Amino acid sequence: MSRAAARRRARRAILYIGRADRGEAWARITRAEAPDLEVRVFPDIGEPEEIAYLAAWTIPPGLIARLPNLRAVFSVGAGVDQLDVAAIPPALPLTRMIEPGLVSDIAGYAAMAALMLQRRIPDYLEQARSGTWHPLPAPPTAETPAGVLGLGVLGQAAAGALSRFGFPVLGWSRTPRQIPGIACCAGVDGLDTLLARSRILICLLPLTRETRGILNGTVFARLPRGAGLVNLGRGGHLEEADLLAALDSGQLSAAVLDVFETEPLPPTHPFWTHPRIIVTPHIGAVTTNEGGIAALLANIRRFECGERPEGEIDRARGY
Ligand code: NAP
Ligand code: GLV
């Protein structure tokens, strides 16, 4: 090994781009747990040739070209669409985040949102504005089938949480799956089966060419009248005008939305004031400091041992 190569091997830096507090925590934990690696927090790159790994939510244009020894890119989130995958050279492996904090957060949010819709919380929020005390009938969870779009790491966690609260759960994936307690369906025909029964529809799909705009008027029309919607995937999954039309017509009764085409949601956006829409600021699941760096370091170890990192993206599939 040349001296330069040996020096590079000894100083393998991870360039982190994202929330500063997480970067500082990841740098501190890495110093203690993996002293052969070093986390640098963007924009403090140091010597660009020492950067072997990039861990980012989004990547500034032109940055990758300045990192001659970059070996792999890691998304700090479960999704990768926000990274502009097309701008990452195909030779660089790209991996998404899989860590226990994301899983438990999503399970909790999905259960919370489904229960809010089943217990008619949007009606009570409206009543509260006029000081109205008026209990409403609500079918039990056992009579409220919930359909989960996406049966990956997070979709399965959501499905499990919904089952534990007694919702009959249907799930949809691209390839057929068998999951105990979940009525699984796949492909275009499978989607119709799920939609026909789902009183609550929860999106936990990755944003790809195939899934962009999937939450649209045609799909809403196939749901039972008065169904509720939860979007935990990405804003690009939802046709916003179609949602407003479906709420106005009563085809949908309410929506709980965590992700938006434009984030932050602009102050004048109609979703903010719509009486049937609950907005949260993309907090459905947030990568934790401890779980996130443990998953990242474990994946770098796998990569350096010649194993496949967990959550490696198949670029042809888009997720
Ligand atoms: P994942 O493990 O890759 O699972 C993706 C699932 O979607 C798989 O079941 C896959 O089917 C299915 N799928 C993909 N394309 C499809 C298609 N065209 N038709 C039908 N099913 C399709 O992903 P994950 O970790 O569960 O994360 C899912 C998404 O959640 C992320 O990409 C991100 O957008 C979103 N997310 C949001 C938040 C938030 O805070 N709101 C937090 C984390 C993640 P197969 O099983 O056949 O592969
Ligand atoms: C958050 O949206 C994520 O992809 O982790």
Share of the chain above pLDDT 90, in %: 97
pLDDT value at 233 more than 60: yes
Angle at 143 between CA 138 and CA 144, to 5 degrees: 75
pLDDT value at 3 more than 80: no
Rounded to the nearest integer, the mean pLDDT of the chain is 96
Mutate to test the pocket of ligand 1, among 58, 76, 103, 174 (most ligand atoms within 8 A of CB): 174
What pTM did the predictor assign?
0.96
Residue 253: both structure tokens together: 């009764």
Mean pLDDT (whole number) for 48-76: 97
> How many CB atoms lie under 10 A from the CB of residue 129?
8
The rounded distance, in Å, linking the Cα atoms of 59 and 65 is 11
Q: Give Rg (Cα) of the chain.
A: 22
Q: Do the bridges between strand 182-186 and strand 200-203 make them parallel or antiparallel, or are there none, so unpaired? A: unpaired
Residue nearest to atom 1 of ligand 2 (CA): 77
Indicate if ligand 2 lies below 6 Å from the C-beta of 77: yes
**What is each CA distance from 115 to 121, 250, 258, 278, in whole angstroms?**
8, 20, 16, 13
Indicate if ligand 2 lies below 6 Å from the C-beta of 101: no
Residue nearest to atom 3 of ligand 2 (CA): 77
Residue nearest to atom 15 of ligand 1 (CA): 174
For residue 11, what pLDDT is reported?
74
Contact 282, 258 (CB under 8 A): yes
Provide the strand spans (E) within 87-226.
94-95, 146-149, 169-173, 182-186, 200-203
Residue 118: both structure tokens together: 């089943």
pLDDT tens for each residue of 151-182: 999 999 999 999 999 999 999 999 999 999 99
- Measured from CB, residues less than 6 Å from any atom of ligand 1 are 77-79, 102, 106, 150-155, 172-175, 177, 204-208, 210-211, 232-234, 258-259, 282, 284-285, 319
pLDDT tens for each residue of 32-45: 999 999 999 999 99
Cα end-to-end span (Å), the chain: 36
Q: Which ligand is nearest to the CA of 283?
A: 1
Question: Catalytic residues, which ones?
Answer: 234, 282
Mean pLDDT (whole number) for 217-226: 98
pLDDT value at 68 more than 60: yes
- The label of the residue with tokens 């963007």 reads 42
Closest CA to 12 of 303, 311, 313: 303
Alpha carbon of 240 to ligand 1 centroid (Å): 20
Ordered domains of the chain (ranges, CATH)? 3-99+287-304 (3.40.50.720), 100-279 (3.40.50.720)
Strand partners, 149: 172, 203
Element of type H or E holding 52: strand 51-56
Residue 5: pLDDT band by 50, 70, 90 thresholds? low
The rounded distance, in Å, linking the Cα atoms of 151 and 202 is 11
Residue 289: both structure tokens together: 């400091």
For residue 195, what pLDDT is reported?
98
The rounded distance, in Å, linking the Cα atoms of 92 and 313 is 11
